[in-house]
Amino acid sequence: MKKVFLLLLLLIFGVSSHGAAEQKVSILLYHSIDEFTGHGLKGLYVTPENFEKQMTYLKEHGFTLLTFEQWQEREKVNKPIFITFDDGYKNNLKAYAIFQKLKTPNFQPKATIFAISDFVGRPNRLTTVELKALADSGIFSIQSHTATHPDLTKPTTNYEYQFKDSKEKIERMTGKPVFVLSYPFGKFNERALEEAKKYYQYGLTDNPLVHTENGKTNKNYLIPRQYIFYSTTLEEFARIVE
């Protein structure tokens, strides 16, 4: 009987510890929040209507939206999730309006925009004034998507310009720390990863996985994200986040 009891204890605690080590955190990747009108890749758009339905789902199902300033809090809150936007499109202001609409004392929206520093102010991109306002809103964190959105695996890459200069430029725009990098096209190699470590605390890929606490080497620079596409239904969205 003692042996059976001990075996049961080992099984219980073994499962529990394994479960804790494999805690999953969804990090979602968006680009444009707008109707698709034929410009760009349709899959990288999410309509404002669908985005609002998705955020309402998170609100109604008890998720806690975080930015990377709160990365260490992910194990302390209920159903942590990270909403990210790449490229810094002006239409991300529509996401801001939706967040403001849904915000309540019990639901505090948070999200991260990864801006391309040299593209700020272009016709379809957020301006310096807009980025500053979003950073000051308490909803958005503004982080780096490099200076010019290059392929970081090319040997001619000027990492100091792409990483250091973009970081400092965005910090001057927002007055807030920039410590997270989103790799353009999700592409990187060992050299790019090592260079990123000089300037950033975290690096985000676009590998379609769920982040797990597995002790993997360089895990803070290999954080996966899950694309939300134009075609993503609410049922598919629910399966992704749950």
Q: What is the reported pLDDT for 65?
A: 98
Query: Whole-angstrom Cα distance, residue 127 to residue 63?
Result: 30
pTM value? 0.88
Which CATH homologous superfamily contains domain 27-241? Glycoside hydrolase/deacetylase (3.20.20.370)
What is the per-residue pLDDT for 24? 80
In this prediction, residue 212 carries a pLDDT of: 59
- Contact call for residues 143 and 113 (beta carbons, < 8 A): yes
DSSP assignment letter at 223: B
Predicted pLDDT at 207 = 79
The residue assigned the tokens 């990123």 is: 196
3-state SS of 136-170? HCCCEEEEECCCCCCCCCCCCCCHHHHHHHHHHHH
Tens-of-pLDDT digits for all 242 residues of the chain? 444 433 333 333 333 333 334 468 999 999 999 999 998 999 999 999 999 999 999 999 999 999 999 999 999 999 999 999 999 999 999 999 999 999 999 999 999 999 999 999 999 999 999 999 999 999 999 999 999 999 999 999 999 999 999 999 999 999 999 999 999 999 999 999 999 999 999 999 987 765 555 556 788 999 999 999 999 999 999 999 99
Q: Using CA atoms, how far apart are residues 155 and 110, in angstroms rounded to an integer?
A: 36
Domains of the chain, residue spans: 27-241
Query: What pLDDT, on the 0 to 100 scale, is given for residue 59?
Result: 98
On whether the CB atoms of residues 28 and 225 are closer than 8 A, the answer is: yes
pLDDT of residue 29: 98
* Region of residue 218 (phi > 0: left; psi between -120 and 50: alpha; otherwise: beta): left
